[in-house]
């Protein structure tokens, strides 16, 4: 482990783990100095720290928090990020609204303090070094995160995080970053949002940004950076399975048979069967008439709804791990075993598996930090679930699984997407006794836009700028799909629809 202490513009000193001085190029920028040190020490973990934060560097925690070579960690004690809140007008992802109280996934890195393995920097050598270390680190993370680099804000890097100060944000830097790391249309949307919502006319930053080269077309490959986490996430390797089901007797039977064939057999399978008909009884006779290698806990309820069903099932979990499964999926006999191998390799407490329909194209071919969460294809350590529940405000709407994933992340548990092993999602027809629920806002004269459950997620997990940016995109997206062609009249109607969605989202938030 090598420690690089800097003053933002230059490296001050470099020390090894014993506190001995290490030679370095005194004329290099901090970013190019990091690259030079990485070339000379390709097997080392590099720790950068601003001189002012050196007394607070939590050296004892570093080996624990940096448990895998394919990590990039940093922590910014300042109240806002290097690029500022306006990046939310462009980036809708969960990586923008960082929870600094816990380890949180984000590409927003800081020059204050951080860690990276030298082998990663060497793989990213085509990203140009520059004077501004913050810009370089943010660029590295933004480019490499979709390639499989696991990037986090890690508060444990500093013993004392109460040294924040607000730095002046530059629109020139913001526009340059957007031009280099996003599609060009986002540069125009950033300009429009700043004009509309903040009464700013950043013509010069907007114009100059087009002189910078894109960094999204890189051929970075991190797959051969091998390593196994030193965290012992899997101890007992016991697992329970929870399955909500409604009207899919045949498909659920196949899921249970796939579970029975597993090389690591579940301890218990919790089946929550729903049938809203008051006089109905269970149709799942095979739960008792057939022999199964695991205990089956069968819950029958007349209350329909996946949120309620999953919450009932979670209360029955006893094992170390939980497989949250759908009732219409197919998977191989080694699915659980291979999932545990991936969990052990990366040292994580939550993964979502590749769960696609037949012939559906896979979005990622490598393990990445996922922006969503699969409520029907995820394996989570059970202690993480003790403080989480599917919020009833999302019942019969959209977003309950994504919200659940955010609850997990805000506890400090990231969700990784596993391209392997795979699950086949059959997307079976809905059960014959399902009834379409009547939502509270369906009879309103002014229909909410977006859906109140979508708005519920927006107000709970996105920044103000992200919400306003989403509002702009929604305005243009729906203009071509509605009958009002007068732009001004459409604007007035859209404003009412947006406010109506806010109204209902606030009501759902209280459920």
Domain co-membership, 396 together with 463? no
Residue 308 CA to residue 274 CA, distance in Å, equals: 10
Are the beta carbons of 209 and 244 closer than 8 angstroms?
no
Domain co-membership, 390 together with 459? no
pTM of the model: 0.94
Those residues with Cβ within 8 angstroms of residue 53's Cβ, 6 or more apart along the chain or in another chain: 77, 112, 113, 158, 163
Are the beta carbons of 54 and 7 closer than 8 angstroms?
no
- Residue 189 placed within a domain: no
Structurally, the chain folds into a number of domains equal to 3
Tokens 């990622």 locate to 364
Last-in-domain residue among 133, 154, 170: 170
> Which tokens in the block code for residue 5?
């202490």
Domain co-membership, 273 together with 353? yes
- CA of 94: how far to CAs of 144, 175, 313, 374, 501, in Å? 17, 20, 27, 15, 21
Those residues with Cβ within 8 angstroms of residue 32's Cβ, 6 or more apart along the chain or in another chain: 25, 129
Domain co-membership, 479 together with 348? no
Listing DSSP states for 52-66 in one string gives GGGGGB-GGGHHHH-
- Residue 267 placed within a domain: yes
Domain co-membership, 289 together with 326? yes
Tens of pLDDT along the chain (511 residues) come to: 999 999 989 999 999 999 999 999 999 999 999 999 999 999 999 999 999 999 999 999 999 999 999 999 999 998 889 999 999 999 999 999 999 999 999 999 999 999 999 999 999 999 999 899 999 999 999 999 999 999 999 999 999 877 666 667 899 999 999 999 999 999 999 999 999 999 999 999 999 999 999 998 888 999 999 889 999 999 999 999 999 999 999 999 999 999 999 999 999 999 999 999 988 999 999 999 999 999 999 999 999 999 999 999 999 999 999 999 999 999 999 999 999 999 999 999 999 999 999 888 888 899 999 999 999 999 999 999 999 999 999 999 989 999 999 999 999 999 999 999 999 999 888 765 566 788 889 999 999 999 999 999 999 999 999 999 999 999 999 988 888 989 999 999 999 999 999 999 999 999 8
Last-in-domain residue among 122, 153, 170: 170
- Residue 465 placed within a domain: yes
Domain co-membership, 359 together with 462? no
Domain co-membership, 140 together with 282? no
CATH of the domain at 418: 3.90.550.10
- Residue 350 placed within a domain: yes
Spatial CA neighbour of 511 closest among 376, 372, 397, 378: 397
Domain co-membership, 415 together with 479? no
Domain membership of residue 496 as a residue range: 452-508
Last-in-domain residue among 371, 390, 425: 425
- Residue 321 placed within a domain: yes
- Residue 27 placed within a domain: yes
Are the beta carbons of 456 and 406 closer than 8 angstroms?
no
- Residue 316 placed within a domain: yes
Are the beta carbons of 327 and 243 closer than 8 angstroms?
yes
Are the beta carbons of 401 and 372 closer than 8 angstroms?
yes
- Residue 447 placed within a domain: no
Domain co-membership, 272 together with 360? yes
Domain co-membership, 316 together with 376? yes
């Amino acid at each position: 482990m090598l420690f690089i202490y800097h003053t933002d513009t230059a490296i001050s000193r470099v020390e090894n783990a014993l506190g001995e001085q290490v030679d370095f190029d005194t004329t290099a920028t901090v970013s190019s100095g990091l690259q030079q040190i990485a070339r000379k020490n390709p097997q080392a973990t590099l720790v950068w720290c601003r001189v002012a934060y050196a007394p607070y560097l939590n050296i004892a925690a570093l080996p624990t928090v940096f448990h895998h070579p394919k990590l990039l960690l940093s922590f910014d004690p300042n109240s806002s990020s290097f690029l500022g809140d306006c990046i939310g007008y462009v980036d809708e992802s969960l990586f923008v609204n960082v929870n600094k109280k816990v380890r949180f996934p984000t590409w927003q890195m800081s020059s204050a303090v951080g860690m990276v393995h030298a082998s990663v920097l060497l793989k990213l050598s085509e990203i140009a070094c520059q004077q501004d270390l913050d810009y370089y680190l943010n660029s590295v993370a933004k480019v490499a995160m979709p390639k499989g680099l696991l990037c986090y804000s890690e508060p444990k890097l500093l013993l004392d995080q109460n040294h924040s100060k607000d730095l002046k944000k530059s629109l020139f830097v913001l526009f340059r970053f957007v031009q280099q790391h996003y599609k060009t249309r986002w540069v125009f949307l950033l300009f429009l949002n700043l004009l509309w919502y903040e009464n700013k006319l950043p013509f010069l930053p907007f114009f100059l940004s087009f002189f910078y080269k894109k960094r999204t077309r890189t051929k970075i490959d991190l797959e051969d950076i091998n390593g196994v986490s030193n965290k012992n996430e899997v101890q007992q390797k016991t697992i329970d399975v929870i399955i909500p089901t409604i009207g899919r007797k045949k498909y659920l039977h196949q899921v249970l048979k796939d579970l029975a064939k597993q090389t690591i057999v579940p301890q218990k399978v919790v089946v929550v069967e729903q049938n809203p008909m008051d006089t109905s009884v269970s149709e799942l006779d095979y739960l008792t008439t057939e022999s199964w290698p695991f205990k089956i806990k069968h819950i029958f309820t007349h209350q329909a709804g996946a949120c309620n069903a999953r919450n009932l099932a979670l209360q029955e979990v006893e094992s170390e791990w939980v497989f949250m499964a759908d009732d219409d999926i197919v998977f191989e006999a080694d699915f659980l075993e291979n999932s545990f191998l991936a969990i052990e390799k990366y040292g994580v407490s939550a993964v979502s598996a590749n769960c696609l329909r037949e012939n559906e194209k896979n979005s990622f071919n490598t393990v990445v930090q996922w922006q969503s969460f699969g409520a029907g294809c995820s394996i989570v350590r059970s202690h993480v679930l003790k403080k989480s529940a599917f919020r009833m405000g999302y019942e019969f709407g959209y977003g309950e699984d994504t919200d659940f994933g955010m609850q997990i992340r805000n506890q400090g548990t990231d969700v990784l997407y596993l391209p392997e092993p795979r699950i086949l999602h059959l997307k079976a027809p809905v059960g014959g006794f399902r009834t379409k629920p009547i939502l509270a806002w369906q009879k309103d004269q002014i229909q909410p836009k977006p859906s109140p459950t979508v708005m519920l997620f927006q107000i709970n997990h996105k920044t103000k700028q992200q919400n306003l940016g989403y509002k702009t995109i929604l305005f243009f997206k729906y203009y071509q799909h509605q009958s009002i062609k007068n732009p001004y009249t459409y604007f007035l109607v859209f404003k009412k629809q947006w406010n109506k969605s806010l109204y209902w989202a606030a009501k759902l938030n209280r459920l």
